[in-house]
Amino acid sequence: MIAIKDLHKSYTMGSNSLHVLKGINFSVEEGELVSIMGSSGSGKSTLLNILGMLDEADSGTYTLDGTPIKNLNEKIAARYRNKFLGFIFQSFNLINYKSALDNVGMPLYYQGMKRAERTDKAMAYLEKVGLANWAHHMPNELSGGQKQRVAIARALASDPKVLLADEPTGALDTKTSYEVMELIQGINDEGKTILVVTHEDDIAHMTKRIVNLKDGLIIDDTKINQVRAASHV
Amino acid sequence: MFSKDSWDEIIEALSRNWFRTALTAFGVLWGIFILVILLAAGKGLENGVKKDFGNIATNSMFMWTQTISKPYKGLPKGRRFSYDLDDVAAIKQSMPELRFVSPRNQLGGFGGANNVVRGINTGAFNVYGDYPEYIEQQPMYITSGRFLNYGDIEARRKVAVIGEGVRNALYDKGEDFIGTYIKINGVNFMVVGTYAVVASNGDSEEEQKQIYVPFTAFSQAFNMGNDVGWMAITAKDGYSITQLKTKVFDIIKTRHSIHPEDDRAIGNFDLYEQYQKVDGLFIALKAVAYFVGILVLLSGIIGISNIMLIVVKERTKEIGIRRALGASPWSIRSQILTESVFLTLISGMAGISLGALVIYVLNKILDANGPVEMFSNPSVDLSTILIALFILISSGLLAGFIPAQNAIKVKPIDALRDE
Ligand SMILES: Nc1ncnc2c1ncn2[C@@H]1O[C@H](COP(=O)(O)OP(=O)(O)O)[C@@H](O)[C@H]1O
Ligand SMILES: [Mg+2]
């Protein structure tokens, strides 16, 4: 599903250049649930943003579901993001003046789907994350866990190939974190490929494979026995 | 572009901070309001002044004789001359571009001695010897009877068409006057008609105190021979009397042995030239109105542009989210532009409506208080409104352009960064 080879990325700030990714090689099969771990500043978000086409690598190749990702202009990147990817952020990033339902419908809006169809589909995904009764609430009327559920429903709405989650539980308490991980595990059980960036060990162990980043290189990449989040709740 | 969805988006975005939106809108509203009011006031002034010209054939001039100021062909300067009917015939014959060449003679006048008598009533009136076509050069409404005709001219009938003012002075209310006689300088003329003129200024009363009699009868009755006092000359449509008049002067100069460069021998009043001057004044006035109005409008537009910049800044994160979800740069840009155009258009329409309302009320007041000198029916026409709309839409685009550019310049990753 995902294949990257010899990926380099550095940031220049003034005269200094910060080499963040120093040759990443890694691939993900369809249906995997992978966590990317590493200390703060190790380049986890940078890697995820490149995978999400929000940022571009300096060198290296990236293939997503057989499509080589290179020389993107913003128009094509926007289309690929809409078609291939679903994003889940630490700070949820809901649009705060739109209801939960409208937030979930956004990716469908940019696909050009008609309103009625969009609403039906968004409603179905809200039901899936257990928030059907909150459809018409505004984000500021929802708890952190609920917001993240709405964000997950939104990420799923366009039925993307891959879900990319950057510290999805970073802003949540432990109990809520496990609930969110339970949801993510459920989605993975249905076959969706998911990448989760985290620096929390317990969260990483709820995935099926842990990739460890240090100083811009992968120092460890092991498949593990998944801990079901449900057993903690 | 104008689906219900994008519509909702615009309303949502603009109503989120409605007070700020309203304040911004006010800038454009005010600008277009000023523009409309200035244009309408200019139009009102123009209508008022042009009304003074009445329906006079403005492509006309009046031409009289003055003292000859240059010796020529052995003739001394300082002599006087007068036009005669042969001059009229000569001009008519050699200049088919002229519509009317009317010889005129005049007797008496404002402030002069009483020259008209009817029974025990007397009055001092201008009495003119005229040809029938004069009514086309100085339009008047025949209120009873008829105007002069060529039968009168050929038979030298002693008939008179009198103004309503003359009738009021010489006749009692309800008294019959058609067919009665009045004595002009001791000569009896039969009244065959009355006229009225419509003019906006107070002169109409004076203009209605005139008496028209056939030119031929006038010459005979008052011993004018072939003399012509002055001429009223009108050019055909498509020609301008201002350009034709030197040719007329040349004919006169040749016929009366006047030095070709003697410009003082012939006096003239060129209505067309005057009218053009007034017209030019109003074109200038209009230009000033546009200039001022557009400047004010421009400041309103800058206001909108400013607010849109702030809005874009505030929504940087939101725009980043939208782009992560698949919004193309074009959809972001068009959203900002549509918001800007929409805001400009709405506030502009409000300004136009407000302006129209003020003009409407003003016209009501003007109507109620009777005619005001030099000001009448201030208005803006449809083409002005269309121009204003065009200006609004383009200014909306202009106002939104830089903010829209800013909106797509922000990379989604920078917009989304959590720190
Ligand atoms: N836009 C940027 N400009 C400059 N430096 C950056 C930028 N983004 C990230 N960095 C730096 O790159 C390093 C890796 O960042 P990041 O990928 O966010 O780490 P992580 O998510 O693992 O904490 C950090 O040192 C960070 O300061
Ligand atoms: Mg990070």
Provide mean pLDDT across the span B53-57.
Answer: 67
Nearest chain B residue to A52 by CA: give it: B324
Determine the pLDDT at residue B106: 87
Nearest Cα to Cα of residue A85 among A55, A113, A107, A60: A107
Residue B383 has pLDDT above 90, yes or no: no
Provide mean pLDDT across the span A130-137.
Answer: 95
Lowest average pLDDT, out of A54-63, B103-112, B185-194, goes to B103-112
A38 lines ligand 1 (CB under 6 A): yes
**Which residue from B321, B327, B411 is facing A78, i.e. has the nearest CB?**
B327
A46 lines ligand 1 (CB under 6 A): yes
- The residue ranking higher by pLDDT, B48 or B144, is B144
Lowest average pLDDT, out of A15-29, B41-55, B66-80, goes to B41-55
Q: CB under 8 Å to B320, separation ≥6 — which residues?
A: A93, B410, B412, B413, B414, B415, B416
Is B63 in contact with B231 (CB distance < 8 Å)?
A: yes
For chain A, which residues lie within 8 Å of any Cβ of chain B, measuring from their own Cβ?
Answer: 49, 52, 54-55, 74-75, 78-79, 81-83, 87, 89-91, 93-95, 97-98, 106-107, 109-111, 115, 154, 158
Q: How far is CA A226 from CA A204, B37, B97, B133, in A?
A: 9, 76, 106, 112
Determine the pLDDT at residue B206: 65
Interface membership of B408 toward A (CB under 8 Å)? yes
Nearest chain B residue to A98 by CA: give it: B12
Interface membership of B226 toward A (CB under 8 Å)? no
Residue A94 has pLDDT above 70, yes or no: yes
Nearest Cα to Cα of residue A147 among A185, A102, A98, A94: A94
Provide mean pLDDT across the span B335-358.
Answer: 89
Distance of CA B316 to the CA centre of its chain: 54
Q: Cα angle vertex B142, ends B61, B152, to 5°?
A: 75
Rounded CA separation A52/B296 (Å): 47
For the segment B221-264, what is each residue's pLDDT rounded down to a tens digit? 988 888 898 899 999 888 888 889 899 999 999 998 898 888 88
Render B37-75 in DSSP notation, one character per residue: HHHHHHHHHHHHHHHHTTT--SSEEEEEE----S-BTTB
Determine the pLDDT at residue B38: 86
Of ligand 1's listed atoms, the one at least distance from the Cα of A44 is 22
Residue B1 has pLDDT above 50, yes or no: no
For the segment A146-171, what is each residue's pLDDT rounded down to a tens digit? 999 999 999 999 999 999 999 999 99
**A-contacting residues of B 170-189, CB under 8 Å?**
none
Residue B109 has pLDDT above 80, yes or no: no
Kindly indicate whether the ipTM for this predicted assembly is greater than 0.95, answering yes or no.
Answer: no
